[in-house]
Amino acid sequence: MAEWLDACGEDDLIAAGCLSVPVEGRLVALFRHDGSYYAMQGICTHGSATLTKGKFENGEVICPLHQGRFCVKTGEATGGPVWDDLKTYQVRAENGRILVQLG
């Protein structure tokens, strides 16, 4: 079973709504939506854009480079020039920290 890895403070994610953090050499995008947390790859599947530098609205993150859209609950590509879904990760909060499993 994959190890749970520390990503960031829960308060930081609540305040920001979305964050990109490096975890074991990978950029992980973290989102808080409808009171739940979601984690997925931080780089767009279409190019080398950091997704959290784009917009995050209505449960979707919009890539800053070509406006590809992804569902933050599932990582599914939902619009724009993107076809490949984002890889998602298990995420949970514990003792004020956000933990992820990169699998």
Positions in the binding site for ligand FES (CB under 6 A): 44, 46-47, 49, 63, 65-66, 68, 80-82
Q: Which is nearer to ligand FES, 42 or 68 (CB)?
A: 68
Q: How far apart are CA 7 and CA 42, in angstroms?
A: 13
Nearest approach in angstroms of CB 78 to ligand FES is 12
Question: Which CB atom, from 44 or from 102, has the smaller least distance to ligand FES?
Answer: 44
Q: What is the closest distance, in whole angstroms, from the C-beta atom of residue 88 to ligand FES in the complex?
A: 17
Largest Cα separation within the chain, whole Å, is: 39
Residue number, 44 or 98, with CB nearest to ligand FES: 44
- Rounded to a whole number of angstroms, the minimum distance from the CB of residue 28 to ligand FES is 17
